[in-house]
Chains A and B, each alone.
Chain A
């Protein structure tokens, strides 16, 4: 597995690539906690403005502008405020946060402290997916180091600002990556999403103002304070600031975590050269899911020779989305009906059961896929799948329903031959 930066100096990966980068000693030697000191000399408004200027967008998949999210917190509210880090990385194809949590825990602590200082929060929680249990010890040790060095707890570095950060664990539920479901889970309940509004910024954890940010979002914050929002933004593009971690898996020679500047050109070069090209030289590129399993699947024709830039806008233009940057590359040996079935099983398993369209819809989708793969495909099944997706998309309580529908809608449209094979060749009918 590769871990490297291409087209930029490693920023997110700065300490991940250094031996003992997870220790306080190395973190400080490489400029760590300087941004926190800088932040202590700034006003809350100035910090939030830097984050706005940076054009940082949430790295957990939704891509909501971070500075704007922070500005929604009513800082004059008498209630406690909370900073919650979403380390529930569960999107199939995404595994970048794991390396940050393992290799650079202090960057996350520093990012949370700066967020806490700007928003007036005295407590932070890091919500780990249960399967990342083995990473919690690394963070607990980093928190202990920070506490001993006066970087955490009462009166941090003599600033008068006090904050405590705790680790917390989930227990195997993809839905808890959705921020309101995460908060339900953090309160000890089933991971059901909550009605929005009120948004977490106003009523989040324990009905108090809460900011929930992804790991990579928060580790970007010290960089932004260090170099200034505009400078950080200009590493990328005007609308997609900074650099971004991409997780690459599937049929490439060099899967791994790559840091690229936003707007990197282009996707074909990235897969075919930077990631070493196709795993087996005699097999052609067939499909790529560029942003984690929840985004539209792309066929080779949408990538090869198309100059797709790797940023939020570039991928939308190319017919998909950036999501979490979890890229799954598939060669011609993969049957897209089967790969879509695999992902639909995932969404069925992970549907929390709270709302009917998602719970029942994903269940029916899997039943139909099971029948198709057992040889019982009917020509009308493609339309049937799309009809069910229409009844889920936009009608479910939270975005998990959309995430289940999009892979199917795009697969049926962009890989008609793979469905034709199962629905016509095997049943001798016509595919509409």
Chain B
């Protein structure tokens, strides 16, 4: 979100003219998103396409953004304008497993601090950090819409709910 978006994002981005390449299947998938909107409104597909870039490239990187700008026939800055607004887009690389723990009220009062403390001490990192081997990133995020099964977290796109220390241990063992 903008308020949480440091104006220095532009300083963090390494600009390059390099252009990402994608397999024909991925290009086809991108076209299927664009087909949902009127032809002159293809920019509407930008957010879904940024998710494709993030999945394929691991994060929103400059070559990926260059590709999208060309693909949608918009400016590179148009793509950055949108990409920097939304909290789900990673503007720097994250670990292979992105653990996002919900920190908003219902999760908070149902045990989020213990869960976060446990995960962080087990992985030896703080919220917002990535393990040295690049395997895990832990983030604290705002409400994920699963308050009835608090505390909860999301790893990638998967919801993990009604968390207990034992459950979290099992999950981390599975990912290891």
Interface residues of A (CB under 8 A from B): 1, 80, 89-95, 98, 125, 129-134, 166, 168-175, 185-191, 206, 247-251, 255-257, 289, 293, 326, 328, 330, 333-334, 339, 342-343, 346, 348-354, 359, 362-363
Q: A98-B146, A249-B148 are in contact. Are A185 and B47 (CB under 8 A)?
A: yes
Name the distance in Å between B174's Cβ and chain A's nearest Cβ: 18
Pairwise interchain contact B144-A131, C-beta atoms closer than 8 A: yes
Is B9 part of the contact surface with A, judged by Cβ < 8 Å? no
Q: A350-B1, A354-B2 are in contact. Are A247 and B147 (CB under 8 A)?
A: yes
- Chain B CB count within 10 A is highest, among A185, A330, A333, A363, for A185
Name the distance in Å between B117's Cβ and chain A's nearest Cβ: 16
- Stretch touching chain A among B18-26, B153-161, B165-173: B153-161
Task: Give Cα distance in the complex from A95 to B149, angstroms.
Answer: 10
- Stretch touching chain A among B102-110, B118-126, B129-137: B102-110
**Residues of chain B at interface, number, CB under 8 A:** 45
Pairwise interchain contact B47-A171, C-beta atoms closer than 8 A: yes
Which residues on A sit within 8 Å (CB–CB) of B89? 171-172
Pairwise interchain contact A339-B105, C-beta atoms closer than 8 A: yes
Task: Give Cα distance in the complex from A132 to B143, angstroms.
Answer: 12
Name the distance in Å between B40's Cβ and chain A's nearest Cβ: 9
Q: A168-B48, A257-B148 are in contact. Are A92 and B105 (CB under 8 A)?
A: yes
Pairwise interchain contact A249-B3, C-beta atoms closer than 8 A: no
Is B5 part of the contact surface with A, judged by Cβ < 8 Å? yes
- Given A92-B104, A174-B1, A333-B109, 12 more pairs with CB closer than 8 A: A1-B149, A92-B147, A93-B105, A130-B86, A131-B88, A131-B145, A185-B47, A186-B44, A190-B81, A250-B147, A257-B148, A339-B105
From B38, B45, B48, B82, A189 is in contact (CB under 8 Å) with: B82
Q: A349-B4, A363-B3 are in contact. Are A191 and B145 (CB under 8 A)?
A: no
Which residues on A sit within 8 Å (CB–CB) of B44? 168, 186-188
Name the distance in Å between A129's Cβ and chain B's nearest Cβ: 7
Pairwise interchain contact A351-B3, C-beta atoms closer than 8 A: yes
Report 19 cross-chain contacts, Cβ distance below 8 Å, ordered by A residue.
Answer: A92-B142, A92-B147, A95-B148, A132-B145, A169-B48, A173-B85, A185-B47, A188-B47, A190-B85, A191-B85, A247-B148, A250-B105, A250-B106, A339-B105, A339-B109, A342-B108, A349-B87, A350-B1, A353-B2
Is B70 part of the contact surface with A, judged by Cβ < 8 Å? no
From B147, B149, B157, A94 is in contact (CB under 8 Å) with: B147
Task: Give Cα distance in the complex from A354 to B85, angstroms.
Answer: 11
Which residue in chain A gives the minimum CB-CB distance to B154? A131
Pairwise interchain contact A95-B1, C-beta atoms closer than 8 A: no
Is B138 part of the contact surface with A, judged by Cβ < 8 Å? no
Is B94 part of the contact surface with A, judged by Cβ < 8 Å? no
Q: A134-B158, A171-B47, A359-B2 are in contact. Are A95 and B146 (CB under 8 A)?
A: yes
Which residues on B sit within 8 Å (CB–CB) of A186? 44
Is B31 part of the contact surface with A, judged by Cβ < 8 Å? no
Which residues on B sit within 8 Å (CB–CB) of A1? 148-149, 162
Is B30 part of the contact surface with A, judged by Cβ < 8 Å? no
Which residues on B sit within 8 Å (CB–CB) of A333? 109
Give 10 nearest A-B pairs by CB, closest first.
Answer: A353-B2, A249-B147, A171-B86, A172-B88, A188-B43, A188-B46, A172-B87, A190-B85, A249-B106, A166-B36
Pairwise interchain contact B109-A330, C-beta atoms closer than 8 A: yes
Task: Give Cα distance in the complex from A334 to B159, angstroms.
Answer: 26
Which residues on B sit within 8 Å (CB–CB) of A289? 105
Pairwise interchain contact A348-B81, C-beta atoms closer than 8 A: no
Which residues on A sit within 8 Å (CB–CB) of B115? none
- Chain A CB count within 10 A is highest, among B43, B104, B157, for B104
Which residues on B sit within 8 Å (CB–CB) of A206? 38, 41
Is B71 part of the contact surface with A, judged by Cβ < 8 Å? no
Which residues on B sit within 8 Å (CB–CB) of A89? 145
Binary per-residue interface labels of chain B (61-96) against chain A in the complex, 1 for a CB within 8 Å, 0 otherwise: 000000000000000000001100111110000000
Pairwise interchain contact A187-B147, C-beta atoms closer than 8 A: no
Task: Give Cα distance in the complex from A90 to B147, angstroms.
Answer: 11
- Chain A CB count within 10 A is highest, among B103, B106, B162, for B106
Name the distance in Å between B91's Cβ and chain A's nearest Cβ: 12
Which residue in chain A gives the minimum CB-CB distance to B41? A206
- Chain A CB count within 10 A is highest, among B38, B88, B104, B145, for B145
Which residues on B sit within 8 Å (CB–CB) of A346? 104-105, 142-143
Task: Give Cα distance in the complex from A89 to B146, angstroms.
Answer: 10
Which residue in chain B gives the minimum CB-CB distance to A360? B3
Pairwise interchain contact B143-A171, C-beta atoms closer than 8 A: no
Task: Give Cα distance in the complex from A129 to B2, angstroms.
Answer: 17
Is B101 part of the contact surface with A, judged by Cβ < 8 Å? no
Name the distance in Å between B19's Cβ and chain A's nearest Cβ: 20
Which residue in chain B gives the minimum CB-CB distance to A331? B109
Which residues on A sit within 8 Å (CB–CB) of B148? 1, 95, 247-249, 255-257
Task: Give Cα distance in the complex from A189 to B85, angstroms.
Answer: 9
Which residues on A sit within 8 Å (CB–CB) of B4? 348-349
Which residue in chain A gives the minimum CB-CB distance to B40? A206
Which residues on B sit within 8 Å (CB–CB) of A293? 104-105, 143
Name the distance in Å between A76's Cβ and chain B's nearest Cβ: 21
Name the distance in Å between B83's Cβ and chain A's nearest Cβ: 9
Q: A130-B86, A130-B88, A250-B110 are in contact. Are A94 and B145 (CB under 8 A)?
A: yes
Pairwise interchain contact B87-A171, C-beta atoms closer than 8 A: yes
Q: A168-B36, A171-B50, A190-B81 are in contact. Are A129 and B145 (CB under 8 A)?
A: yes
